[in-house]
Amino acid sequence: MKKRKLIIIGVLVLCVGGGAIFAITRNTAKASEANLDGSSVTAVTKQDLEKTIAVSGTINSAATYNVSSEIANVHITDIRVQVGDEVKAGDVLATLDDTALANNLKSAQSAAGIASQQGNLGIAEAERNYNSTVAANDTAVNRAQDALNSAVAVRDAKNQEVANAQAAYDQAKATLDAAEEDGKEAAQAALDVAAATLEGLKAEANNAIAAVNTAQQALDDANNTRNKTNADSADAVTSSKLSAASSAQSANDSVRQAKEQLGKTTLVAPADGIVTAVNAKVGDVYTGSTLIVIQDVSGFKVSATMDQYDISDVSKGLAATVTTDTTGSEKMTGSITFVSPTPAAVASLTTEGQAATTATSTGYPIEITLDNPSDRLRIGMNAKVTIVVANAKGALSIPAAAIQQDEDGSYYVEVAQDVDGNGIADSEDFQKVPVQQGLVTDYYVQISGEGIDENSFVVIPTEDVEITNTGLF
């Protein structure tokens, strides 16, 4: 069996691309030997590891504003900007013909004035009817009260007359009882007159009581009528006021809507930015589409598309670095601010002359907002994005090629040791150490295990590796 040998001459660190291979040597008398068969070794190091995904994208502004109006089928009367102009929020960009809408506003304002007058007239009439009803009811109640008072007075007078007649009758009866025989006839006649008078007065008293009851009923009816008709008249006033308020509200809404419509004939900038498109000219009939496009260049973002193999590793908030041809090696930092949950829809033509159809691609749109955009960036530039999907600080790491796997699927490394002290680490000096994998990048693997640390050297299992003295030591 051929031994794998490695001349240990010193320590040299080479970094290539995103990874590093460490050729570990120690200067000995055999340093000049070359073209020896064996395996290379590498140092176990502590370093910050990152797993990244690279993707290409396009520079876009932080926000895009498509300026349009709900008003359509009117002529464009003025366009005050052109492509490249800087605008501030609220600046007037264009105006549309407002003749018809101005007339609509005048009509709405006139209708609102008429509705207000009609409402006031209706309220005034209802209030007059209410006042008249209240006065008439008060008069009726007062008259009924007077009639009752008169009936009560008559009743009381009749009752008094009955009492007096009763006393006269009682006196006449006493006289009859005390009269001598020769005076009884006259006393009896007087008693008969007193009795007839008493009965007549009692009948009148009963009539007076009935008259009081009738008067009381009339007063009660007058009060009930007053309460009902007064309430009805008051409700009529309230109803008139509500109707007037409703009419006024409707009319005022029409005025407000007419003003809003009229205001939409003036198109203003929704935010600060640069005009990047003007899609019509003065005199054109506006159809309701986007008239002017404004880009907010106070910030930039990168729009990119991730394939289905990488999108599951990407989420909002992940850090990213961005470079462009115009900024050279300058790295701009940012973070993912949008990840589409569905693939992008793309348009295609089935056959010549037919309408475009849509199909679903396998790419998922994402957006990266830049924290420190360069002044040299322009909308539409190509960008290269590196997304950090995982990282490990101060990770104990080795090149991925140094990881070996047993038949049971477990991982191990071979630690190189110069056990016999002869300056050569051969296969008898390799110690098998089980390890667990952590973060795996394109070049490095984070490891942990008993008996291995950053002072260890592990074998990269290759055959027939030529090792020569670099002359650096």
Nearest CA-CA partner of 205 in 149, 154, 166: 154
pLDDT tens readout for residues 140-155: 999 999 999 999 999 9
Enter the tokens of residue 114.
């008429």
**Mean pLDDT, consecutive 10-residue segments, the chain of 473 residues?**
40 34 32 41 89 93 93 95 95 95 94 94 95 96 95 94 94 89 88 92 94 95 95 96 95 94 94 94 94 92 93 93 93 94 70 55 89 91 93 91 90 78 62 90 88 85 47 33
In this prediction, residue 324 carries a pLDDT of: 95
What is the Cα 29 distance to its own chain's centre? 77
- Complete domains list, the chain, with CATH: 5-44+403-460 (2.40.420), 56-94+274-389 (2.40.30.170), 102-262 (1.10.287)
DSSP 71: -
DSSP 463: S
The answer to whether the beta carbons of residues 424 and 7 sit under 8 Å apart is: yes
d(CA 205, CA 154): 8
In this prediction, residue 426 carries a pLDDT of: 60
Residue whose token pair is 């876009």: 60
Residue 55, number of CB atoms within 10 A of its CB? 20
Residue whose token pair is 């001459």: 9
In this prediction, residue 387 carries a pLDDT of: 93
d(CA 452, CA 169): 144
The answer to whether the beta carbons of residues 468 and 48 sit under 8 Å apart is: no
d(CA 6, CA 25): 9
pLDDT tens readout for residues 214-236: 999 999 999 999 999 999 999 99
